[in-house]
Amino acid sequence: MARLLDQVFGHKDVIAKLLGTFASDRPGQTFLFVGPSGIGKKKIALGLAQALLCENSRSACGSCGSCLRVAAGAHESLKVIASEGPQIKIEESREVIEFLNLQGITKRRVIVIDQAQSLNLQAANSLLKTLEEPPPETYFFLIAPTNAGVLSTIRSRSRTVSFKPLSPAEISRGAPGAPEWAVRASQGSFEKLAQLQEGPEQEIRNEALSLLQQFLEDKEFLTDNSWRDSFKERARSQRILSYWISFLRDVLYFQEDQKKQIMNVDQGEFLKTLASRPREKVLDLLDKSLVTEKEIFANRDVQLLMEEFWIGQQSAEA
């Protein structure tokens, strides 16, 4: 069986409503799927393409020739457009128009535009009339992380369908064996989960943990210039601060005995040690971490920021 909707984790209510919509007399033809990356929006769009093109069932049988060709990405009545760079250009939009003008294939056609927020102005304008008045039996699925990134002219011609992040239980079912801390830190996204488990990201997390311990415990932190190597690159510095913020939030949860909310469950001893600090000092440290992270985003000198942060922290500890 190659029924794609069976391979989706979560979103069951949304899928049921969409299938019901297509079974109605006036289903709509242009849909904008919005929600975090890595939660299954594209697979749902392709699963709905199976349902629309299936030879046997309105909800896709998964075994007919049509369903198998959709699953293989080789269906003559399905066109998938995705950005290969920072933008979807007018050439890709023209491919859609040419696809709709093709003769000799089935009347019903499905177009999936992934990363629709990447449509540049020319590409979007070339599609407006088609999106506003699609040919009969033609269905568009546009996919984007948020409404805000999609041009208003596209949004106004689409029916928006919002998708929520997956639950930790759904992530665990889809990725058995993934460490619990990564599942909790994934923000309901398989894409984020995969990133967290990659070697470079694991290295940054371990580095962030070690640096936070040094930052809080080593009175010679500032004079030992080895820390500067960790804060040479702005992007890496941002990731380190984001982990500090994550650890400190977990400390607050630990102090409140809200252990189900703790993300970094593999660092129980470290969190327990930090939780012995007065709550107001943990809150102050978290606040300073958030401010420093914001300043890094604002392109201030990273190493100078960390010096100021450490000096301020030493004053607070005195």
Q: Taking Cα atoms as reference points, which of 36, 64, 32 lies closest to residue 50?
A: 64
DSSP assignment string, 121-144: HHHHHHHHHHHHSPPTTEEEEEEE
- Are both 36 and 142 inside the same structural domain? yes
Q: What tokens were used for 5?
A: 């909707």
- Are both 155 and 256 inside the same structural domain? no
Q: Are 33 and 88 in contact (CB under 8 A)?
A: no
- Are both 35 and 144 inside the same structural domain? yes
Domain assignment present for residue 187? The answer is: no
- Are both 38 and 88 inside the same structural domain? yes
The CATH number of whichever domain residue 295 belongs to comes to: 1.20.272
Q: What tokens were used for 49?
A: 């393409």
Please tell me the predicted confidence (pLDDT) of residue 104.
Answer: 66
85-89, 117-121, 174-178, 304-308: range with lowest mean pLDDT? 85-89
Domain assignment present for residue 157? The answer is: yes
Domain of 59?
4-164
Q: Are 248 and 286 in contact (CB under 8 A)?
A: yes
Q: What is the pLDDT of residues 53-82, one digit of tens each?
A: 999 999 999 999 999 999 999 999 999 998
- Are both 269 and 226 inside the same structural domain? yes
Q: What is the pLDDT of residues 201-260, one digit of tens each?
A: 999 999 999 999 988 888 887 787 788 889 999 999 999 999 999 999 999 999 999 989
- Are both 233 and 127 inside the same structural domain? no
Domain assignment present for residue 181? The answer is: no
Please identify which residue in the block is written with the tokens 């932190």: 221
- Are both 151 and 61 inside the same structural domain? yes
- Show which of 140, 164, 188 is a domain's final residue: 164
- Are both 9 and 149 inside the same structural domain? yes
Cα–Cα distance for residue pair 59/138, rounded to 1 Å: 17
Q: Which residues pair with 160 in a beta bridge?
A: 32
Indicate the number of domains in the chain.
2
Q: Which residues pair with 32 in a beta bridge?
A: 142, 160
The CATH number of whichever domain residue 130 belongs to comes to: 3.40.50.300
Domain assignment present for residue 185? The answer is: no
- Are both 11 and 158 inside the same structural domain? yes
Domain assignment present for residue 191? The answer is: no
Domain assignment present for residue 310? The answer is: yes
Q: pTM for the full model?
A: 0.85
Confidence of residue 318 (pLDDT cuts 50, 70, 90): low
- Are both 215 and 69 inside the same structural domain? no
- Are both 101 and 31 inside the same structural domain? yes
